């Protein structure tokens, strides 16, 4: 099954470079390109791609607001929600915090190697979040440290001990397949636990589950 992608970046050379890189993957197809956040929102509505690769800083409407609108529209039309991967640099931390709550499911540094770009697109297209060790982990941990200074620790009400284990592993950046292996459960069971956590914690996506795990301080600091 082919993964459809919209590229959103105000720099034509960046889009051209990404297009050349992604074109080498037989299972990924670029179906549209946008130079502004407004164009990205419109293309996402019209084309309903699996993934939008979105630059944070763009004219007319930035990538954060564009992501918020794309996710809000996708939530209203039902299954097959569009995933968003943000293009960022290590200096964009404050914007990336906002992007997490806007609904972004992953982050790429603009000089990321090809295999990691393709892996990120595939992970997000599969309904998961790019929460592997690296920039996303540090961003989540720094964000939750700041949030805890202003708000009480999030309470994990109504979840079972097994669901707590699964939530901890999500906070550590594990995918469903890694969770199933780690806990010696089937992939279907892992997905069921994740779905129940989303409902019980009123979380929009896997990123918000990871944030909840860090806010509740159930992820060991050594991870």
CA distance 213 to 148: 12
Looking at the predicted structure, is the pLDDT value of residue 199 above 80? yes
Token pair 């970046």 is found at 9
CA distance 177 to 215: 24
Token pair 């990205």 is found at 40
Give the residue numbers spanning the domain of 51: 3-130
pLDDT class of 37 with cuts at 50, 70, 90: very high
Please indicate, yes or no, whether residues 123 and 58 belong to a single structural domain of this protein.
yes
Write down which residue in 130, 152, 174 finishes a domain. Answer: 130
Please indicate, yes or no, whether residues 110 and 157 belong to a single structural domain of this protein.
no
Q: Which tokens is 186 given?
A: 């089937």
Please indicate, yes or no, whether residues 48 and 12 belong to a single structural domain of this protein.
yes
In a domain, 70, yes or no: yes
In a domain, 135, yes or no: no
Q: Are 166 and 189 in contact (CB under 8 A)?
A: no
Please indicate, yes or no, whether residues 111 and 170 belong to a single structural domain of this protein.
no
Q: Which tokens is 17 given?
A: 């470079």
pLDDT class of 149 with cuts at 50, 70, 90: very low
**pLDDT, tens digit (0-9, with 9 covering 90-100), for 200-215:** 998 877 877 887 887 7
**pLDDT, tens digit (0-9, with 9 covering 90-100), for 51-89:** 999 998 888 899 999 999 998 887 666 555 789 998 876
What spatial distance separates the first Cα and last Cα of the chain, rounded to whole Å?
A: 34
Percent of the chain with pLDDT over 90: 40
**pLDDT, tens digit (0-9, with 9 covering 90-100), for 85-144:** 988 765 566 676 777 778 888 777 777 777 888 888 998 888 777 654 455 555 555 655
In a domain, 223, yes or no: no
pLDDT class of 160 with cuts at 50, 70, 90: very high
Range scoring the smallest mean pLDDT among 34-38, 87-91, 184-188, 219-223: 219-223
Q: Are 34 and 8 in contact (CB under 8 A)?
A: yes
pLDDT class of 157 with cuts at 50, 70, 90: confident
Instruction: Give the residue-averaged pLDDT of 166-182.
Output: 88
Report pLDDT for 186: 95
Please indicate, yes or no, whether residues 83 and 165 belong to a single structural domain of this protein.
no
**Into how many domains does the chain fold?**
2
Predicted TM-score (pTM) of the model is: 0.72
Q: Which residue has the higher pLDDT, 115 or 27?
A: 27
Looking at the predicted structure, is the pLDDT value of residue 216 above 90? no
Write the CATH number for 192. Answer: 1.10.10.10
Please indicate, yes or no, whether residues 144 and 126 belong to a single structural domain of this protein.
no
Looking at the predicted structure, is the pLDDT value of residue 222 above 80? no
- The C-alpha angle 130, 108, 182, rounded to 5 degrees, equals 20
Write the CATH number for 124. Answer: 3.40.50.2300
């Amino acid at each position: 099954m082919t993964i459809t992608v919209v590229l959103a970046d105000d720099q034509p050379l960046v889009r051209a470079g990404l297009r050349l890189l992604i074109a080498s993957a037989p299972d990924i197809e670029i179906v549209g390109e946008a130079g502004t956040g407004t164009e990205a929102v419109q293309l996402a509505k019209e084309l309903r791609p699996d993934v939008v690769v979105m630059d944070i800083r763009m004219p007319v409407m930035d990538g954060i607001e564009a992501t918020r609108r794309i996710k809000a529209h996708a939530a209203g039309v039902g299954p097959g929600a569009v995933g968003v991967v943000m293009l960022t640099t290590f200096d964009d931390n404050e914007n990336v915090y906002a992007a997490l709550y806007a609904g972004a499911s992953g982050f790429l540094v603009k000089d990321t190697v090809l295999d990691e770009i393709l892996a990120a697109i595939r992970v997000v297209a599969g309904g998961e979040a790019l929460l592997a060790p690296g920039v996303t982990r540090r961003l989540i941990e720094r964000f939750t440290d700041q949030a805890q200074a202003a708000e009480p620790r999030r309470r994990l009400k109504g979840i079972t001990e097994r669901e707590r284990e699964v939530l901890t592993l999500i906070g550590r950046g594990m995918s469903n397949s890694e969770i199933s292996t780690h806990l010696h459960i089937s992939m279907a069971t892992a997905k069921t636990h994740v779905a129940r956590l989303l409902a019980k914690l009123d979380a929009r996506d896997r990123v918000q589950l990871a944030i909840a795990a860090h806010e509740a301080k159930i992820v060991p600091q050594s991870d």
